[in-house]
Structure 1
């Protein structure tokens, strides 16, 4: 039986990413959409479009895919959950630890299920890397980076306003990287967080993500970071190097995941997301005792990971064991981001922040 689904928010993500994939997936039936914009019905032809989420009811909707701006995620999702409508939230699930607690309470009160997560862990090349982990021995360190050449989203819009986005590239690309880390090694908290941020590229439209086809608005240049470097230590002792950049001086947009173990090191180089300025193809290598071997890795069309993520969602929606899990994982992720920013506000001290989350 298909999951009756509504898309809440018809901006770029709702319009370009979720609506077409939900419409073509046999496990979902798009029964409605929500967006207050007068032109919203044009973005969802054949689908009833409501001006506000309170038009949705648990009698008619099984799942709401919430794709509103970041600062509305927790408010909109909590309202739906309290009314018994299950919710899927992509990153960032919430912007503060307090919002994570609100989502957890709404899920309990409404008896619905919060589902969340990034699409990146569902990529075929990330899956190939995951299958290599048993060969690495005891994992000691992971380097995670996703750096674009030019890719500031919606320059001048809400993405670059801390009050609406929560932060900059750390919330946008960094959340994907942290989700991928948890998918590879299992979820864990962090005992130490050291972070540094900068915004050298934010003040000019020359570094914007033209491939998103966003129109820059007459808003301030922004007050968020476009680049973040961090060093983290997980509760299991694994250290993590993290780098995220909306813009840089490199030629292409490249994602790199390098896992170092006691027996070998594995490295994946690819490009997450939809940018056309990509690493030519995914490359996976295994290095052991001075010998590096290039391994076969599946190549797939851009965005396939979102279809694979929907395959998983359709199967776990009715699993009572999922209830509470997404909110707990979001609390861990947003907690480390909060600690990262706290560390970055003391750049001259370079003191790691003990992570209480």
Structure 2
């Protein structure tokens, strides 16, 4: 792309949308020119706070704007696919918040459309950008761990359901619960570290033990809540994932659970020469004086930790994407399989085209 700057429209002014607005402003060549938000009050508050010149209630009015290069989508999950598809067909690059879609068929369609249009589509997997993840990735690349053959990855909260009665807790809007909301982060960063997204089998189980009782609510989100809405998504999910190479992953996610930590968000990798776990980033291995634990300095990230800054650089041709579309599709397939396995009570086999690793 020859232009030295980008005009961006942010779609959605909820908690995630505010994050998009704030982070895009960190790039000197990114200009937020429009904001779309169905709630006039929420939209005006955000537009005033971030100095956005144009506020609309219907995103479709922005599709034909030739001066808008990017749609940054921060909407409820069920709108991810239709709005992204419309944006791509209108010739826009798209930054899409996770999960990519509410099923793998939609995700595959989005990937195909982005390729057809020649536009950048990136899912905002911000957990890849943290100093700990980038440092762990370098340790693996340097061979410090040897062969990484197994991993445990989790994001679990004691009481972190995002507003019971909001779109987050209704399947028709969210598609899934904690597995889609925070489990996707834990899974994505783990597969990124392992450098393999090609799963051949998934066994999963989801639970809803707190939300249906009105328990476990956190303080996240700005969405409206319907006190009469049925809580019909998961508040805890587990999965055992086998990759094509034979390596394995244990995944845990919870919005609400009786656990020692209020909020745990980490990954452990098992290698033939050493193991690593974060947070904090620690290395476990045999040394001259016996087995030892080493705290690893991860204060300097190997990548810009701001996913929006990185996305702008990718669109402007200054960087290669850290989050590839094919990988996000593969993650969506695994999420689908967790729910399919829960429904059937059986292992789900995934035998499609392998996904190229990072």
Range of TM-score over shorter length: 0.7 to 0.9
TM-score with structure 2 setting the length: 0.86
1:106 to 102, 108, 113: 113
Superposed counterparts of 1:1-357, under 5 Å? 1-15=4-18, 17-39=19-41, 40-45=43-48, 46-47=51-52, 48-56=54-62, 57=64, 59-133=66-140, 134-212=143-221, 216-250=225-259, 251-269=261-279, 282-288=280-286, 291-298=291-298, 308-319=306-317, 326-347=324-345, 351-357=346-352
The structure 1 segments of at least 4 consecutive aligned residues displaced by more than 6 Å after TM superposition are 320-323
- Can you list the C-alpha shifts for 1:274-312, whole angstroms capped at 9, x where unaligned? xxxxxxxx3423233761323233359xxxx99521232
Q: TM-score, normalised by structure 1?
A: 0.87
Indicate the SS of the match to 2:144: helix
Q: Displacement of 1:100 after TM fit?
A: 1.7
Cα distance in structure 2, aligned partners of 1:31 and 1:6? 6
Paired with 1:28 and 1:187, the residues of 2 have a C-alpha distance of: 32
Shift of 1:66: 0.3
* Structure-2 change in CA distance of 1:142 and 1:331 (3 Å): same
Change (3 A) 1:219 1:298: farther
Deviations 1:294-333 (A, max 9, x none): 3233359xxxx9952123212211449979x844223211
Q: Distance in 2 between matches of 1:336 and 1:356?
A: 12
Matched-pair contact (CA < 8 Å) for 1:82–1:109: no
Change (3 A) 1:299 1:253: farther
User: C-alpha separation between the residues in 2 aligned to 1:294 and 1:344?
Assistant: 39
Q: Please give the secondary structure, in 2, of the residue aligned with 1:231.
A: strand
Secondary structure at the aligned position of 2:7 is classed as strand
Corresponding residue SS for 2:344: coil
Cα deviation 1:196-228 (Å, max 9, x = unaligned) = 111111124441112546664323241111111
Contact 2:26 2:309 (8 Å CA) reproduced: no
Q: Is the 8 A contact 1:233 1:240 kept in 2?
A: yes
Per mean C-alpha deviation after superposition, the further-off stretch among 308-317 and 28-37 is 308-317
Q: Which residue of structure 2 aligns with residue 275 of structure 1?
A: none
For this pair of structures, how many residues does the alignment match?
Answer: 336
- What secondary structure, in the 3-state scheme, does the structure 1 residue paired with 2:212 have? coil
**SS in structure 2 opposite 1:240?**
strand
Query: In 2, are the aligned partners of 1:62 and 1:86 still within 8 Å (CA)?
Result: yes
Matches of 1:164 and 1:145 in 2, distance apart?
24
* Whole-angstrom CA distance in 1 between matches of 2:137 and 2:320: 22
Gaps of 5+ in 2: 353-358
Deviations 1:154-178 (A, max 9, x none): 2111111111111111111111112
Distance 1:32 1:143 in 2: 41
